[in-house]
Amino acid sequence: MVAENNVIRNVIPIRERNVKENLVPSLAISLVDAKERIDLLQQFVKEMMIEGLDYGIIDGFQKPTLLKPGAEKLCDIFGFSKHVNIVNRIENWEKGIFAYEVKVTLVSKETGYTEAEGIGACNNKEKAFVDQDPFSIINTLLKMAKKRALIDAILSATRSSGLFTQDIEDLPKYSPKIKGGDEPATDRQLKMLFRTVSKHGIHPDTAKEMMKMMYQVDHSTKLTKQQASSFIQDLLLLKTNS
């Protein structure tokens, strides 16, 4: 009887160890392979992606934001096919309220397996759209939701969230009370602003009216650093609708 009890006591710890070992996840790939993938991704971003087109860098923000063309490039280079599904929509024609929620699923062309899913939403009560005619921007809202869902899925599938953020409004801002926050906009900010307006077909008069309405100034050189950063954010949001 004593011997039997000793056997039981010896067996139970072994079983407990086996259970605990099975609960500990193992790495799907080696650390060397993981580092190689990260290095290749960083090399692709450095050599093949273009600032101002594929991603945006703005003074006062810690990480660049991934734009739609850049997301499309990553989708192609990783061999994904994308499937778009509108999962929720609000179209209140009487009150002029429109909102869309979209899911983008990325599927590997090589294996046929789902790599990631992304969710994006947009509505006409957002800062960039609240002053516009809601009935004339319905298609824009839907495109924006699709764009956000695509970028969400791409960041997840490619593990590139360490390099980019989801969207410009998700960028963690530095403290607005930092020294120099009320100083005039920098040359780099002004060049970024002019390049965005010119490259993406935003009429100069439209940009000027937006600036007057938002900051009560009639020339970009009168913007502060903080105002210039915010204004560039709005222009980047508008330019990625297409």
Mean pLDDT of 118-139: 88
- Print burial letters for 81-115: b (CB count within 10 Å at least 16), e (below 16): ebeeeeeeeeeeeeeeebbbbbbbbbbeeeeeeeb
Q: What is the pLDDT of residue 174?
A: 42
Q: Are 226 and 176 in contact (CB under 8 A)?
A: yes
In a domain, 61, yes or no: no
In a domain, 205, yes or no: yes
Which among 56, 78, 82 is positioned nearest to 69, based on CA atoms?
Answer: 56
Q: To the nearest whole number, what is the mean pLDDT of the chain?
A: 77
Backbone angles phi, psi at 33, to 5 degrees: -65, -40
pLDDT per position as a tens digit, 69-117: 889 999 998 899 999 999 999 999 999 999 999 999 999 999 999 999 9
- Structurally, the chain folds into a number of domains equal to 1
In a domain, 4, yes or no: no
How far apart CA 18 and CA 133 sit, in angstroms, is 64
Instruction: Decide if pLDDT at 177 tops 90.
Output: no
In a domain, 23, yes or no: no
Instruction: Decide if pLDDT at 66 tops 50.
Output: yes
What's the maximum distance between 2 C-alpha atoms anywhere in the chain? 95
pLDDT per position as a tens digit, 185-234: 888 888 888 888 887 777 777 777 777 767 777 888 888 888 888 787 77
Q: Are 225 and 59 in contact (CB under 8 A)?
A: yes
In a domain, 197, yes or no: yes
In a domain, 120, yes or no: no
Q: What is the pLDDT of residue 171?
A: 44
In single-letter form, the type of residue at position 72 comes to E
Domain range spanning residue 199? 175-242
Q: Are 68 and 240 in contact (CB under 8 A)?
A: yes
Determine how many CB atoms are found less than 10 A away from the CB of residue 34. Answer: 13
DSSP conformational letter for 165: B
Q: What is the pLDDT of residue 6?
A: 54
In a domain, 139, yes or no: no
Instruction: Name the pTM for this structure.
Output: 0.62
Sign of CA dihedral 51, 53, 58, 61: negative
Q: Are 177 and 183 in contact (CB under 8 A)?
A: no
How far apart CA 101 and CA 90 sit, in angstroms, is 9
The token pair at 198 is: 């010119």
Q: What is the pLDDT of residue 225?
A: 83
Sign of CA dihedral 168, 213, 144, 196: negative
How far apart CA 216 and CA 90 sit, in angstroms, is 34
User: Which range (36-45, 138-147, 230-239) has the least confidence?
Assistant: 230-239
How far apart CA 22 and CA 42 sit, in angstroms, is 34
Backbone angles phi, psi at 195, to 5 degrees: -65, -40
Q: Of the spans 6-20, 103-117, 120-134, 185-199, which averages the highest pLDDT?
A: 103-117
How far apart CA 190 and CA 196 sit, in angstroms, is 10
33 vs 197 pLDDT, higher one: 197
Q: How confident is the model at residue 22 (pLDDT cuts 50, 70, 90)?
A: low
Instruction: Decide if pLDDT at 56 tops 70.
Output: yes
In a domain, 210, yes or no: yes
